[in-house]
Structures are given as structure tokens and as C-alpha cells.
Amino acid sequence: MNHEAILVIEDDYAIRNLITTTLETNQYKFKTATTGAQAMTEAVSKHYDVILLDLGLPDMDGVDIIKKVRSWSNVPIIVVSARTEDKDKIDALDAGADDYLTKPFSVDELLARLRVAIRRAGYYREADREEKKVFENGDLKIDYVSGCAYMNGEEMHLTPIEYKLLCLFSQNVGRVLTHQFILKEIWNSPLESDITSLRVFMATLRKKIEKNPAKPKYIQTHVGIGYRMLKVE
């Protein structure tokens, strides 16, 4: 079974049905959105491995969605569109799309493009892990090699869970991480009952990294959804 999650942004029923049937047959997990507004809500609140995007949505141009997503994420974006002009492809790719599939397309071609995007994403994630030894954001510094975190140059005394949480946020700056995503990554447990424990750990972590935990500078709460690490200059 494939574990990758795909976000399908397509307002045409027939095309959307073809894509989702193909994904289901090949055991990919997926969610669908039929408008730009729905797409942005999904993209900002959940983790996806690939986005399949139609440019011609009823409420927003697909190129604008690409630009918005690229402002916080490097998730592979494959454009699936009836627009065949080179300018449309160039605009989408310049905005940050990874690939472009013109309608009509074959199921085999769609799957091949998906596999390439997933491999590429895996390669870059591995390269980032190997190259990035130190994370810095404002006065916060994490030395991944030594397993230590510092605030204003002074080492913080974090519990193993607090350190794992801080590393997870540092690797997803600007992205809203849902409670379920965090629980799965840290404890391998997406149970609703564990959200209370997560909130306790987040409260203790904030006391160590925030001057005023009531007005957080580094980690923002999205009520009912999760948390996001902000970029601090």
C-alpha cells in the first residue's frame, strides 16, 4: 500500500472522478477540493506529499494557489490542466509548480508523473536532513548533531519530548501542523484522547522558548486545529 497523501484540486467532476478512481485503485490516500478556498484550507492544515492542481478553478486562478503554497511549502505540485499554451505552462512552472500534465491524459502517465514527484520529494528531504546541521530562527538555535537547543545563546534544558516537538516545528516553519499530525509524528498515536497530553507538553515548551507564553512569538496556536512555528527575523 502507498502511504503518500495526495491533494486533488479539481472542479470538473469527470476529471476529478478519473483521478480519484486511479488513486484509489493504486492505494494512494487522497482528499479533494473543488474551489481555491477549499484547497487553501486543506493545504495549510494537513500534510500532503503531492498536490494535483487544476488551473481553471471557479473562484481562484491556479497560479495564485501555487504562489500561496510556495510561500510556506515545497510540496511537489503537478498541474493538471486543459490549457495547452506554452505561456500557461511557463507561468505555472515559474510560480513554483514541479510538473505539468495536459488534459486529456492517460492513467499511466498520471501515475508515472506522481512516482517521479514522490521520489524527487524524498530525495530533497533526505538531502536537507544531511546538509542542515543547525537551525536558527530569531534567538532560537537547534544543533541537530549534538541534540541541543539554545535561546539567546544559552542552552535550554528540554525533555526528550519537548526536543522532538521543537525539531518537528523547526522542520515545518510556516506550516500549520494539526494535532493528529503531531501526535502521529511524535508518539505514533493519532488518538483524540492524547491531545490533552500534547497541550501539556506544548505549554511547558512555550515556557522555555517564549518570553511571554500568553503572547507567543515562535509557536502560534490555531484553535481546534494545531500549531505553527512562525518565522522570526
**Could you give the 3-state DSSP secondary structure of residue 29?**
strand
pLDDT, tens digit (0-9, with 9 covering 90-100), for 142-156? 998 788 999 999 999
Q: What angle do CA 170, 175, 181 make, to 5 degrees?
A: 85
pLDDT at 47: 84
- The yes-or-no verdict on residue 91 having pLDDT over 70 is yes
Give the full edge-to-edge strand order of the sheet including 140-143: 134-137, 140-143, 148-151, 154-155
| Band (92; pLDDT cuts 50, 70, 90) | confident
- The yes-or-no verdict on residue 124 having pLDDT over 60 is no
Q: Which domains does the chain have, with CATH numbers?
A: 5-129 (3.40.50.2300), 134-229 (1.10.10.10)
Per the model's pLDDT, the better-predicted residue between 7 and 214 turns out to be: 7
Percent of the chain whose predicted confidence (pLDDT) is above 90: 48
Overall pTM > 0.85: no
Mean pLDDT confidence for 191-214: 89
